[in-house]
Structure 1
Amino acid sequence: MTASRADATAPSADSADAGFARDMAVHHQQAVEMSFIVRDRTDDEEVRRLAYDIINTQANQRGMLLGRLDAWGLPKSSQDEPMAWMGHAVDYEPHDGSLMEGMATDAELDKLRKAEGRDAETLYLRLMTDHHRGGVDMARGAADLAEDPVVARLAEGMVRGQQSEMKLMADMLADRGAAPRG
């Protein structure tokens, strides 16, 4: 779609709407990746069911976010710092493949790929809890700053859904004699 055919009400490329769509699409992609990894590293049905739900929910939401960018005629990537659209300094330094708050590092992903059974489950639940915390912070920012009502509603739904999953994951960790990190 050319810019002349883009939606006349499209936000600018540096808007909160576009920044959130880009950043959360990246954030969600890693959650989907981690969920596929754990699905293959455990036989526990409860963890596999959670992973399946995260795969489907976050892949779907990622598609919606990328679809909004496409409808607006905006690029799917940016040279801006992650979460710059939030309008305030973000106290997070990207490192080892972790681009934004809550994202796992490459070393953590490698550890998850090598873990099996209960070790894989516990690591996944801890990593995904951290991931959701970062996602909730970002989604709250978008819910407050987005001008597109579709993006604002999607962000609000992400906050509710991920908070609910964090409670579930805390219970699942407790069942395994563990707790979320930090």
Structure 2
Amino acid sequence: MSASPARCTRWAAGSAVTLALLFAGAATVASARSDGAAPGPRTPSARSADAGFARDMAVHHQQAVEMSFVVRDGTRDEDVRRLAYDIANTQANQRGMLLGWLDLWGLPKTAPDGQGPMGWMPGGGHSGHDTHGGHSTQGKERDGALMPGMATRTELERLDEAEGEQAEILFLQLMTDHHEGGVAMARGCAGQCTVPVEKRLAQGMVEAQQSELDLMADMLAARGAAPRP
């Protein structure tokens, strides 16, 4: 297959990020500061849910973009290719917004000492006993899956090697897990984040990805398959 993570990353970095950052920056300046009626914090802290969600979801989204471009080049099915393109386009732009907020806030794109991935959520990160979508995450982080729903290096290699319907089914299954993890993260931000524009983005992610989950379940059923148990 011709797709590669490097190629996908180059596309994501260049896809409308400039405009996304401009709009995100303007919205965040208006939302993160007080409205003049009462004093308030100007920016979230590095350990806040706002910053943690922005950091973690940017990483989560990047993998979805990469998987989408792998399957787009691995199948001729127009429905799957269209879904993959929509996911890649949406999540690349959202990733630009999330990284733009971190830049605006003057915060690093890596977690502060002592706070690993998902450390901003109640229960925090991978405890070794977390489950997601019925799947135990125990040990997955050792194969590159840093957060719930993320595919492992082994799974990404399988997707890169697959073709045709096999690629379609594997992509839909992996992306179902990925969306379920993303929905859980977005719900966490919708409940914990304090920057209004970020909370709205998170709620929008919940609604959009839930709709895509329903679509992917139908697409799997049409191929005689189902989400992974």
* TM-score normalised per structure 2: 0.75
Measured in 1, the distance between the counterparts of 2:76 and 2:100 equals: 35
Considering only aligned residues, what root-mean-square deviation do their CA atoms show, in Å? 1.4
| Deviations 1:19-77 (CA, angstroms, capped at 9, x unpaired) | 00000000000000000100010000000000000000000110110011011010111
Select the structure with the greater relative contact order (CA < 8 A; seq sep ≥ 6): 1
Partner of 1:20: 53
Taking the TM superposition and a 5 Å limit, the aligned residue runs for 1:4-15 are 9-15=42-48
Instruction: State the 1:81 CA deviation.
Output: 1.1
Q: 2:116 aligns with which of 81, 101, 107?
A: 81
User: Which aligned runs of 4 or more in structure 1 are off by greater than 6 angstroms?
Assistant: none
> Alignment identity in percent?
68
1:113 aligns with 2:160: yes
Consecutive unaligned residues of structure 2, counting only runs of 5 or more, are: 1-32, 34-40, 131-136
Taking the TM superposition and a 5 Å limit, the aligned residue runs for 1:1-182 are 9-78=42-111, 79=113, 80-90=115-125, 91=130, 92-93=137-138, 94-182=141-229
Measured in 2, the distance between the counterparts of 1:12 and 1:60 equals: 24
Alignment: residue pair count: 177
Measured in 2, the distance between the counterparts of 1:13 and 1:46 equals: 40
* TM-score normalised per structure 1: 0.94
Consecutive unaligned residues of structure 1, counting only runs of 5 or more, are: 1-6
84-93 or 56-65, which deviates more: 84-93
